[in-house]
Chain A
Amino acid sequence: AQSVTQLDSQVPVFEEAPVELRCNYSSSVSVYLFWYVQYPNQGLQLLLKYLSGSTLVKGINGFEAEFNKSQTSFHLRKPSVHISDTAEYFCAVCESGGSYIPTFGRGTSLIVHP
């Protein structure tokens, strides 16, 4: 069975500082990995995804994530955050093949201070 753990429930950071949001997963088979962002009072939207190939994937708004199979991690990074990046971020894992429903993490609240 697949599972995902987001190691930090809240990450405060100052504007223009770098940030890393951590995500670890568990699965016995090949997986797809996703990061979603939820701005206040909105639904989730896809930020980026890893399906196969290059382990470094780039998404919208300057975010990127690196798939590390040996450490079963998919951490999200941004070199310089803006106030507008304040949001809830969800990691999701899904066994590859198209038939399996993703499991979502509990979310990490990124709070960017001026």
Chain B
Amino acid sequence: NAGVTQTPKFQVLKTGQSMTLQCAQDMNHNSMYWYRQDPGMGLRLIYYSASEGTTDKGEVPNGYNVSRLNKREFSLRLESAAPSQTSVYFCASSEAPGWPDGYTFGSGTRLTVV
């Protein structure tokens, strides 16, 4: 099925470990996004890529890095994980940042940092 695919679905890390969350979309969208979801906080934008070759910080970028590998793939890297990064991470894509058709979301990665 067409859509946004995230891997892995679950991950447990120890404090200080690093990891990369992978995201791929097959809808030929130009823009891709990484959000984190925490209880009572809703969705907060970490980083986004409005088009291939560009990336920009969102609301909560500290502790993260991103790579827009090509038009399909957008990865999120935690260089040194901290317990405060325990969260559910969602990748999304769209034609453009404010595209009126809205965003397509992946099913999420549940990350626990101990």
Q: Can you list 14 pairs linking A and B with CB atoms under 8 Å apart?
A: A9-B40, A32-B100, A42-B108, A43-B106, A44-B43, A49-B100, A49-B101, A98-B98, A98-B99, A99-B96, A100-B97, A101-B48, A102-B98, A107-B42
Contact residues in B for A104 (Cβ distance below 8 Å):
42-43
- Please provide the chain B residues from 60 to 108 with a CB less than 8 Å away from any CB of chain A in the complex: 90, 92, 96-103, 105-108
Contact A95 B108 (CB under 8 A): no
Contact residues in B for A34 (Cβ distance below 8 Å):
102
CA distance A51 to B100 in the complex (A): 7
B2 at the interface (CB under 8 A from A): no
How many B residues touch the partner, as a band? 20 to 34
CA distance A45 to B105 in the complex (A): 7
The binding surface of chain A is classed by DSSP as loop
Q: Given the interface contacts A42-B107, A102-B103, does A94 sit within 8 Å of B42 by beta carbon? A: no
Out of B40, B97, B98, which one reaches A106, CB within 8 Å?
B40
- Please provide the chain A residues from 14 to 49 with a CB less than 8 Å away from any CB of chain B in the complex: 32, 34, 36, 41-46, 49
Residue interface bits B35-75, CB-to-A below 8 A is 1, else 0? 00000111101001000000000100000000000000000
Contact A90 B43 (CB under 8 A): yes
Query: A22 → chain B, closest Cβ, in Å?
Result: 15
Contact residues in A for B21 (Cβ distance below 8 Å):
none
Residue ranges of A at the interface with B (Cβ–Cβ < 8 Å): 9, 32, 34, 36, 41-46, 49, 51, 90, 92, 94-102, 104-107
Contact A43 B4 (CB under 8 A): yes
Chain A residue with the shortest CB-CB distance to B31: A101
